[in-house]
Amino acid sequence: MARTHPIPIDRETSQIDRRRFLGATAAASTLGGASGVATAATDTVSVVHDTHFHGRFEGSSGVNIAQYTHVVNELRDANPNAGFVGIGDDFSPSTLGFEFHGEHMVEALNYLDPVVDGCGNHDFDFGVENAVKRFRNSTFPWVVANLFTPDGDPIPGTKRWHVEDIGGHAVGFFGSGVEDFHGITAYPDEYRVIHPVDAAEEAANALREKGADLVVMASHTNSSTHDDIAENADVDAIVGSHSDKLQDEVRVMNGTVISELGDQFAHLGVVQLDVATGDVVNWERHDLASRADSIPEDAGMRKIMDKWLGRLDERLGQTVFRTARKLDARFSTNYAVESNFGDLVCDVMCEKMDAEIGLQNPGGIRSGAQYGPGAITGKDVFNILPFPNKVVKAEVTGKALMDTLETSVSALPWSSYGVQAGAQVSGLQYEFTGTGESAVGNFYVGGEPLREDETYTLATNDYVFENWDGLDDATLVETSKEFLGSVFIDHLSDAGVVQPDTENRILRVDEDVGGTGIELDEDRVTAILDKPETANGVYEKTFVALTEFGHEIEAEAVEDRGDSVAASFDRRALELLATGPKDVNLRVFGGFEPDDAAYDYRSDGTLVDLPVAEPVFYFAMKGTIPTNGRGPNPFGGTAARTETLGSADSEADDRGRRRKQHSHHH
């Protein structure tokens, strides 16, 4: 279809008689909370999108599905020839999803009545057979063009593409999951996947041959793939994505309109297309979170909510344990740094499997919220750990552990999410850096240096064991009978009250300044660190001294001396920390303000404002205090030999291997 730039003309709106696309005319909308471009056309189709419900009836935005339905209906009524399009990831992951395997969402979606819904990876969390059952029980088409059975047929209950008559105009729809569909969900190896770009080309050509005036993709592929689709396929509009990206304005690439609006009830988009040209006539982003308290609920959807939430309360509404500290299950925390919930779940897996080391993927800590202090219910646990993953015990070499943890690191400048460790651990302490090139080092297991050729027992979930780089040659020893969420509940229900804190298991190092100088007086030990040339200043209250056991003390005073930083500690406390039967790896860590220009990380030619990743607001320097590890004066001997980041015996063989697990997905 030939495309031209949209021509601003007077806007018309329409009132529709039913939820699907119909052509009619009516009065203008009075909706609030919208932003975007607004012209109008006499012959248009309006696509309201998206879903990405994750099996939830309530989102972290404060908006529930009954309010969301009310706004969807308003938008369908207010825009010309308008219909609602879903993009998938609707069955899971959540407590409701874990309990009902998407059955609750099919009832809700049937009521919401989309024109089509794309298929996402989480729609297959409970296996293909469950997904097919849900697809077949739906009163609307599910579309996915890049997934096939082992025989090369479309997934039963879905269509590769679908044409809908909209006021006399043929509108073609197709969907696509990500290229690495096997790697991120419970999709059997024998089931086929083709590249989203190839699927889009085939779908667009087929829909044009069927006479489609417009072609719209209900996308659940990566945002970064959209430009390639726009370059290679004759697609008028792409709505949604796998990447949880929120656009501030409509994007047009090679004539293809692209609209992405995050997930879980926070936003709705309206893309109005000129039928004759395929151009965008109007684009709106409706932000629901900002007016969550004032959006009415749709009564019919409220009844559906009450039905399934009531069933959930009967099963999982009781308190299973209490926490004296706030549990942090937020994505931003668990991907970037050590978290107390990450520590807790790894400890539980280690104790369950009697393993030396525990490892949990941040994407499996799912709710994006904090809990407590106070009662934690079964619903809370399965909201945080909603996947049908079992706990496994495996035997793995030290080298494989190093490689696995290195490939979990997100580094600048290539990482879109800033510097992230990308793992949660137990029984292990290590340092990582992600500035310039990812690296890991200074590994300790129970205070003992990790040895590359030694075999260790590892407790993790079966998703990590089967999919993470580095664990290919690990040996499976045992698999739990129960899913991780149930293991977690069973283990902590006897504990009564927990109060987990972080324990210096994962240590970020942006600048290793080497050995420190020492100034001694009667009451203090002052470590003198060379100040990094890349530092604009230091954060005095962040400086601590700690050992390979995770024990730490805070600096009593910190002085920025220009070319150096002096961190002073209570002498008796530091001597106790440094004294032992062997050499102690005593290090000082402290935060500094990075000089953006010195690091020169750029995105599309623009200097990146550091440090980027939440929740870290500073870069970290490390200096090593020389000790002999023995009293009465541990600072009088020679420095203990310490391994540095990037040393030959700790580097992974292939720095090119990167796990694409940083889009807040399993």
pLDDT of 557 > 80? The answer is: yes
Cα 417 to Cα 436: distance, rounded to the nearest angstrom: 14
Please report the domains of the chain, with CATH numbers, ordered by start residue: 34-290 (3.60.21.10), 318-506 (3.90.780.10), 510-624 (2.60.40)
Q: What is the pLDDT of residue 644?
A: 41
pLDDT tier at 630 (50, 70, 90 boundaries)? low
Radius of gyration of the chain (CA): 27
For residue 2, pLDDT beyond 60: no
Mind spelling out the 3-state secondary structure of 631-649? CCCCCCCCCCCCCCCCCCC
**pLDDT (tens digit per residue) in 258-314:** 999 988 899 999 999 999 999 999 999 999 999 999 999 999 999 999 999 999 999
Is 665's pLDDT higher than 90?
no
Q: Band of the pLDDT at 641, cuts 50, 70, 90?
A: very low
Average pLDDT of the chain, as a whole number = 87
The DSSP secondary structure of 249-305, one letter per residue, reads S-EEETTEEEE-B-STTSEEEEEEEETTT--EEEEEEEE-GGGTTTPPPPHHHHHHH
Q: What are phi and psi of 183, to 5 degrees?
A: -80, -15
Residue 39 confidence (pLDDT) above 60 = no
64-78, 429-443, 481-495: which has the highest mean pLDDT?
64-78
Say what the pLDDT of residue 348 is.
97
What is the predicted pLDDT for the residue at 628? 79
Vertex 256: Cα angle to 251 and 259 (nearest 5): 40
What is the DSSP secondary structure assignment for residue 558, as one 8-state letter? E
- What's the confidence (pLDDT) of residue 640? 37
The pair phi, psi for residue 411, each rounded to 5°, is: -120, 150
SS3 label, residue 378: helix
Average pLDDT value for residue range 113-118: 97
DSSP string, 437-501: S-EEEEEEETTEEP-TTSEEEEEEEHHHHHHSTT-TTPEEEEEEEEEHHHHHHHHHHTT-EE---
Summarize pLDDT for 155-176 with one digit per residue, the tens.
999 999 999 988 788 999 999 9
